[in-house]
């Protein structure tokens, strides 16, 4: 779960996957297709009221877009790294899960967004 949050990446993908938890049924179609195994089923055993859904380790997502294309419920959206923190902050989920995890998920997304903004600021302006 968000292993290595905030760890510097050599290169950022053009977009990263974010799960809209309210649309996710936990069918795991996305888990099956993800080539880097960065989508995880949220464990419900310690959170009795948890609905079934998945979340994504953004530090490992390579932005391949497969999960978005395979999701039968349109629960995944590909988001530019410069906007990722805002998207993660509103992605929703069961209250127990949000309470236990949202700060950590926000911090990981913020680190990626800050890096993306740094890279964008350092890039030469296009003519
Ligand atoms: S975009 Fe690709 S790497 Fe990222 S979570 Fe989806 S399937 Fe995995
Ligand atoms: S494919 Fe879509 S609905 Fe199924 S677990 Fe993944 S995000 Fe949820």
In a domain, 104, yes or no: yes
- pLDDT for the residue 22: 87
In a domain, 62, yes or no: yes
Query: pLDDT (tens digit, 9 = 90+) per residue, 46-100?
Result: 555 556 889 999 999 999 999 999 999 999 999 999 999 999 999 988 888 889 8
- pLDDT for the residue 5: 46
In whole angstroms, give the CA distance from residue 59 to residue 4.
7
**Beta pairing partners, 54:** 41
**pTM reported for the whole predicted model:** 0.87
In a domain, 11, yes or no: no
In whole angstroms, give the CA distance from residue 48 to residue 88.
23
In a domain, 10, yes or no: no
Are residues 55 and 43 in contact, defined by beta-carbon separation less than 8 angstroms? no
CA of 71 to the centre of ligand 1 (A): 11
In a domain, 4, yes or no: no
State which residues form the domain around 98: 16-121
- Residues near ligand 2 (Cβ within 6 A): 19, 24-30, 53-54, 71, 73, 75-76
Does the beta carbon of 32 sit less than 6 angstroms from any atom of ligand 1?
no
Domain count, the chain: 1
In a domain, 9, yes or no: no
Average pLDDT of the residues in 17-26? 92
Average pLDDT of the residues in 96-105? 90
Q: Which atom of ligand 2 is nearest to the CA of 71?
A: 1
Question: Atom 6 in ligand 1: which residue has the minimum CA distance?
Answer: 67
- pLDDT for the residue 9: 67
In a domain, 48, yes or no: yes
Are residues 72 and 24 in contact, defined by beta-carbon separation less than 8 angstroms? no
Question: Which domain CATH number covers 57?
Answer: 3.30.70.20
In a domain, 59, yes or no: yes
- pLDDT for the residue 1: 42
CA of 50 to the centre of ligand 1 (A): 23
């Amino acid at each position: 779960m968000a292993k290595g949050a905030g760890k510097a990446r050599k290169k950022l993908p053009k977009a990263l996957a974010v799960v809209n938890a309210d649309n996710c049924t936990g069918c795991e179609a996305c888990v099956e297709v993800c080539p880097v195994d960065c989508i995880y089923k949220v464990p419900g055993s310690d959170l009795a009221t948890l609905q079934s859904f998945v979340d994504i380790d953004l530090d490992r997502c390579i932005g391949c877009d497969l999960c978005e294309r395979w999701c039968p419920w349109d629960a995944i959206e590909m988001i530019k790294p410069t906007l990722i923190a805002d998207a993660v902050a509103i992605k929703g989920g069961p209250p127990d899960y949000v309470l236990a995890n949202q700060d950590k998920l926000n911090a990981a997304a913020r680190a990626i967004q800050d890096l993306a903004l740094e890279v964008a600021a350092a890039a030469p302006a296009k003519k």
